[in-house]
Amino acid sequence: MEGEEVDLGNFPSPKELANLDADYLQSKCKLGYRTNYILKLAMEIEEGKLKIDGYEGVQDAASCRILIKGISGVGSFARASVLMCLGFYDEVPWDSETIKFLKHVHAREGCTKKTIKSDLKEIYDKYAPFQCLAYWFELLEFYERQFGKLSELSHTMYHKVSSSTQMREFNHNHVL
């Protein structure tokens, strides 16, 4: 598909993704190391090696975690995000942005990759089984203080909405 312009839209299908060249996908989406995992996943779905229709019928998060665990390239962040999309909100997806957010909004200066799980548990377990929703509402409130209503933000500004961008400007005394 090199040289040919493809409209990926917001959510391309596994078939559309499986037909893309890795370099093309990387140039359009800037996925880094994730590019090959995404293409492999799309191909496995298209070839019938991975049956995703069974995920929608899963009734509990534990069973869903077991299904997701076997997917190559799916780490803790992606797993928590998939669980959230399937209606299970007990696991907060975390990465370096989450650590920065907790340091600034919750004054967790000592938060690191080693402590993030316990920090999230301390802060959000009181909202069980909706820990992830509580986190996302806080994050949304934080971003909207910086940018105004996100639903009214121009799509050309989406790339500016990240805690990396805003944490440098965030006042430590401004707590949710």
* Cα 41–Cα 44–Cα 48 angle in degrees, nearest 5: 145
pLDDT number for residue 123: 98
Question: Residues 154, 158, 163, 169: is their CA dihedral positive or negative?
Answer: negative
Left (φ > 0), alpha (ψ -120 to 50) or beta: where does 78 sit? alpha
Q: What is the pLDDT of residues 15-46, one digit of tens each?
A: 999 999 999 999 988 899 999 999 999 999 99
Answer yes or no: is pLDDT of 176 > 70: no
Q: Cβ–Cβ contacts within 10 Å for residue 14, how many?
A: 18
pTM for this model (two decimals): 0.74
- Using alpha carbons only, give the angle 14, 20, 25 rounded to the nearest 5 degrees: 100
Whether residue 163 is predicted with pLDDT greater than 60 in this model: the reply is: no
Contacts of 170 (CB under 8 A, 6+ apart): 104, 105, 142
Q: Is the pLDDT of residue 130 over 90?
A: yes
Q: Is there a contact between 94 and 76 (Cβ–Cβ < 8 Å)?
A: yes
Tens-digit pLDDT profile for residues 140-160: 998 888 888 988 988 888 777
DSSP 106-165: S--TT--TTTHHHHHHHHHGGGTT-HHHHHHHHHHHHHHHHHS-GGGS-GGGGGG-SHHH
Q: Which amino acid is at 72?
A: S
Distance between CA atoms of residues 24 and 158, nearest Å = 22
Confirm if 118 and 111 have CB atoms less than 8 A apart.
no
Structure confidence by residue, pLDDT tens digits, 67-126: 888 898 998 899 999 899 889 999 999 999 899 999 999 999 999 999 999 999 999 999
Q: Where are the domains of the chain?
A: 1-50, 52-88, 96-167
90 closest CA partner among 117, 69, 114, 112: 117
Longest dimension (CA), the chain: 53
- Give the chain's end-to-end CA distance (angstroms, integer): 47
- The pLDDT assigned to 158 comes to 78
